[in-house]
Amino acid sequence: MADTGIFATTAEVQRKAGANASTVSNVEAYINDYMTQAESWINVTCKFNYSDEYANLDVDVKGILKEAASSLAAIYVINYDMSGFTSREEALIMINILWARVFECTKLLEDKADAQSFINDA
């Protein structure tokens, strides 16, 4: 099976999910599903289809998309089964840190999408 995500790879998600992530959910098949969901969520949240425009984006925007999507997918991996972590608190701290990055990245992407819409409509 190969990576099917547009914004990030399985390896990038696995690094963020951490060493104690579930061996069930921290595999390519699950991560491909999580990436599809994360990419769709980012596109809808930002009201811009970054997936369709990905090839035309500059490296900085691609980097923010990678960070947002891999962080959100890593949250899904961790949330699937927290029993491998030393404590539930450890897993929740990781989820909170990842969510903060998803939130910040999508704010940046929303602002860019709004600015681009303004420029295109001018």
Specify the pLDDT at position 122.
Answer: 47
What end-to-end distance do the CA atoms of the chain give, in Å? 45
Arithmetic mean of pLDDT, 42-70: 94
Task: Let me know if residue 2 belongs to a domain.
Answer: no
Domain that residue 72 falls in? 10-121
C-alpha to C-alpha distance for 83 and 79, rounded to whole angstroms = 10
Task: Let me know if residue 4 belongs to a domain.
Answer: no
Specify the pLDDT at position 2.
Answer: 87
Task: Let me know if residue 17 belongs to a domain.
Answer: yes
Task: Let me know if residue 5 belongs to a domain.
Answer: no
Q: Which amino acid is at 81?
A: D
Whether the per-residue pLDDT at 8 is higher than 50: the answer is yes
Specify the pLDDT at position 111.
Answer: 87
Arithmetic mean of pLDDT, 49-64: 93
Specify the pLDDT at position 116.
Answer: 72
C-alpha to C-alpha distance for 48 and 38, rounded to whole angstroms = 14
Task: Let me know if residue 89 belongs to a domain.
Answer: yes
Q: Which of 60, 40, 62 is nearest to 49 (CA)?
A: 40
pLDDT-derived band at 118 (thresholds 50, 70, 90) equals low
Specify the pLDDT at position 121.
Answer: 64
**Contact between 1 and 28 (Cβ < 8 Å):** yes
What is the count of structural domains for the chain? 1
**Contact between 76 and 21 (Cβ < 8 Å):** no
Q: Is 109 left (phi over 0), alpha (psi -120 to 50) or beta?
A: alpha
**Contact between 42 and 7 (Cβ < 8 Å):** yes
C-alpha to C-alpha distance for 70 and 17, rounded to whole angstroms = 9
Q: pTM of the entire structure?
A: 0.91
Q: What pLDDT digit, counting tens, does each position of 81-117 carry? A: 999 999 999 999 999 999 999 999 999 998 877 767 7
Q: What pLDDT digit, counting tens, does each position of 14-42 carry? A: 999 999 999 999 999 999 999 999 999 99
